[in-house]
Amino acid sequence: MKFNLKQLLYTAFFYLIVSDADAQKNNHSKAGKNILYYFYSADSNFVGVKDHLGKIIIPATHHAGFNYDFTQPINDPVIEFYDTSAGSSRKDAPAIPMGEVYSREGKFLYYPQLFDNGPDYYAEGLRRYVDGDKMGFADQYGNKVIAAQWSFVDPFNYGYSQAYTGKWKRNYEKGGEHWTIAPDSEDAGSHVINRNGEKVLPLVKQQNPKDYLSDGSYYPYPFSYTAKEQKITDQLNSLEVLNRIFQLRYSDAKDLPKLQFEITERPDQRFPYYILQGYGNQKIDEDYKFLVTEDGKRIFHYSFYVSEEHTSLRKFIISKLVESKEYIRNHPNAPNRFDVKKHLREWKNK
């Protein structure tokens, strides 16, 4: 597992809170009745959490040298700090606690796994957490949905994760910034798990064109839908313009990855949207992630930034077409160029 600095952009924006769906604010869950704020200690060196009446929910014991917003309420379903006093179980263990997560009532929940320079990000609605020298997965609401039982786990992708058993260690690349994991015992091994934490055996042969291909083996297509959900998914998968935009910047004209959208999260009382994740060659592409209302009638581009409103599918496609037009102008020989003007006329008139 190689750590990528790109994902650091996402670690400060782990999830969206929905407080008013019609207002289209980028919120991911209705917060409780208690209004919470981060606050400084008297010497401004530490951070805690108070409610709107001044009651201390979490004492100011966490270091203040991180990006906390002290002017706006904490709308997230959990409270997160970006430092921790906890350490790894051993010096070279790949399970590394980074940050601390609490309930809105101030109860400690878990330690997120380190990713780059911050806590782990969410992939398909789950993030990795650390318990001693083991790792598992938690959801956006603080629930440990898959118990910590492996030396290391990869983020979920296409409904699956790679889980590492036995003893593993960090193996640093030249320069000492990035690391991969390496076996550190004779019984070290790995296998694929599903979202229930269950070991999944590879298929003898491919059974479905959408089966997951990993390390030369196929695993069962992990997504299943009701008729209504299939219709919602088909809406995005049928938009050829998204595929054209996605493929434009590839230098090869053959064997191009095709965008494939799948539902990775479903609406509940706290979050009234489906999340549809885009995949290229069965790999998550964070630029192609959308929110769809429960009735399937409204589609928005998923934004990582809490201050932004949702962008409608129409506006997103128009903005991407404008970018594509500029790209083709600067790369007139791009092998996957297409008639951008035609698509722009079509979407501006929708």
Domain range enclosing 281: 227-348
Of 198, 219, 240, which one is at a domain's C-terminal end?
Answer: 219
Q: Are residues 147 and 9 in the same domain?
A: yes
CA-to-CA distance for 131 and 86, rounded, in angstroms?
10
* Residue 59 belongs to some domain of the structure: no
Residue 202: pLDDT band by 50, 70, 90 thresholds? very high
DSSP sequence for 300-331: EE--S-TTSBPEEHHHHHHHHHHHHHHHHHH-
- Residue-wise pLDDT for 57-110, tens only, equals 999 999 998 999 999 999 899 999 999 989 887 889 999 999 999 999 999 999
* Residue 269 belongs to some domain of the structure: yes
- List, in order, residues 6 or more apart from 194 with CB less than 8 Å away: 159, 160, 200, 222
Residue 23 has pLDDT above 50, yes or no: no
Q: Are residues 113 and 239 in the same domain?
A: no
Q: Are residues 244 and 201 in the same domain?
A: no
- Residue-wise pLDDT for 286-340, tens only, equals 999 999 999 999 999 998 765 457 899 999 999 999 999 999 999 999 999 999 9
Q: Are residues 207 and 292 in the same domain?
A: no
Of 180, 202, 219, which one is at a domain's C-terminal end?
Answer: 219
Q: How much is the CA Rg of the chain, to the nearest whole Å?
A: 22
Residue type, 331: H
Q: Are residues 119 and 213 in the same domain?
A: yes
pTM of the predicted model, to two decimals? 0.87
* Residue 318 belongs to some domain of the structure: yes
Q: Are residues 198 and 249 in the same domain?
A: no
CA-to-CA distance for 325 and 334, rounded, in angstroms?
12
Q: Are residues 115 and 236 in the same domain?
A: no
* Residue 137 belongs to some domain of the structure: yes
- List, in order, residues 6 or more apart from 46 with CB less than 8 Å away: 40, 60, 61, 62, 63, 64
Q: Are residues 315 and 265 in the same domain?
A: yes
Number of domains in the chain: 2
Q: Are residues 214 and 307 in the same domain?
A: no
